[in-house]
Amino acid sequence: MSELRPELAAIAGMIRPGTRVLDVGCGDGALLHHLVQAKGVDGRGIEISQQNVNACVARGLSVVQGDADTDLSEYPAGVFDAVILSQTIQATEKPLKVLTDMLRIGRRVAVSLPNFGHWRVRTSLLLHGRMPRTRTLDYNWYDTPNIHLCTLADFIGLTRKAGAVFTEAHTLDTDGRTTRIRPGAVTSGFFGPNLTAPGAIFLLKKS
């Protein structure tokens, strides 16, 4: 198995061994596989792509083909120690509902997302007058799965609306490397992570 990319390694660091974990939008199951193998978690996944689901199940993971927007409401409250949403919230139809559902079914929620407030995005729009296309958001506006992009400051606003606080934060650089920062530092000052970080990871819980 190839090494876990740094972002997923940072999320894995938030997961307690032996607990029950749900990975929403688990992709090909790289993180879930790692969590099951290295941390002995009871890992479950939801993934929208049929091909990815089949690949996950073929490697022995418990993954269901489903849609975060509609299927999270099926799960009962408080059954997972952690729910993970990695690089997926910007592709959901109803980010607030998805976040609220996750906070209901998991005691802790780990979310990673791209930052639309990053200076490259801002300057790209300013200078070229076209929808920004960057290394981390490399899509044309008309065929992007990312229908609800936001800035880190926007996301923090959403977590407040969902009644959550974040207990841990990491910034993500262009190569996906992570740096742990103080949760309060995310939106501090004009030159803070909301301008400088291409993405971030947050660990949330209900306030």
Q: Which parts of this chain interact with another protein (CB under 8 A)?
A: 20, 42, 44, 50, 53-54, 56-66, 71, 74-76, 79-80
Q: Residue 114 and residue 16: Cα distance in Å, rounded?
A: 25
Closer by beta carbon to another protein, 75 or else 202: 75
Closer by beta carbon to another protein, 17 or else 76: 76
Q: How far is the CB of 43 from another protein (least distance, A)?
A: 10
- The residues near 132 (Cβ < 8 Å, ≥ 6 apart) are 116, 120, 121, 122, 124, 125
Helix, strand or coil for residue 96? helix
Region label for 194, one of left (φ > 0), alpha (ψ between -120 and 50) or beta (otherwise): alpha
Q: How far is the CB of 73 from another protein (least distance, A)?
A: 10
Closer by beta carbon to another protein, 61 or else 203: 61
Q: 3-state SS string over 19-69? A: CEEEEECCCCCHHHHHHHHHHCCEEEEEECCHHHHHHHHHCCCEEEECCHH
Q: How far is the CB of 161 from another protein (least distance, A)?
A: 26
Closer by beta carbon to another protein, 65 or else 136: 65
Q: How far is the CB of 55 from another protein (least distance, A)?
A: 8
